[in-house]
Amino acid sequence: MDVAAYAARARNGPCFVCAFLSGHPDHAHQTVFEDEDHIAFLDRWPTLAGKVLVAPKEHVEHVVRDLDQDAYTRLMLVVREVALAVEDFVGAERTYLYSLGSQQGNAHLHWHIAVLPPGVPYEQQQFHALMTENGVLAMEHDDAVAMAVGIRACVAARGGPGAG
């Protein structure tokens, strides 16, 4: 992964979530969950297997101020259900949930779901495991499709957000 090119794209390109939702081919991702208001998809540059991003479809930029209480609660229920499905599919010692982005780049609100597999040495956990500067996982297209299908099946088996 070219970190400098990624930063330039994040800061100067179109909103990556809105571009994905509009079908822009340079912003394609594998969807793992979608409803009327939310989208969840595999991270293009995962640092951990099964890393997923969850975003509201509406272009909102602030994790607290831009959502009323009901919209925030619905989004967090989607994050929880998708995280549990990723855990079911990949296996996890711990699941990291975090929201990044800024007005300077990747402004569209999105949550990251990153599951830490069992057995990762402590020095390679937490921030180290999340930083693209420490490397990203290479994933062939067919493998990404299979992972997305598997996670979608786990979401469906759980009954979807709000079911449990």
Residue 19's pLDDT is: 84
Q: Which residue has better confidence, 70 or 26?
A: 70
Alpha carbons within 13 A on the beta-carbon side of 43: 23
Has residue 118 got a pLDDT over 70?
yes
Q: What would the pLDDT profile of 119-138 be if each residue is shown by its tens digit?
A: 999 999 898 888 888 888 88
Kindly report the pTM of this predicted structure: 0.88
Q: What would the pLDDT profile of 27-78 be if each residue is shown by its tens digit?
A: 768 899 999 999 999 998 899 999 999 999 999 988 888 899 999 999 999 9
The three-class DSSP label of residue 42 is strand
**CB of 55 closer than 8 Å to CB of 67:** no
Fold of the CATH domain 3-157: HIT family, subunit A (3.30.428)
Q: Which of 41-45, 108-112, 137-141, 159-163 is predicted least confidently?
A: 159-163
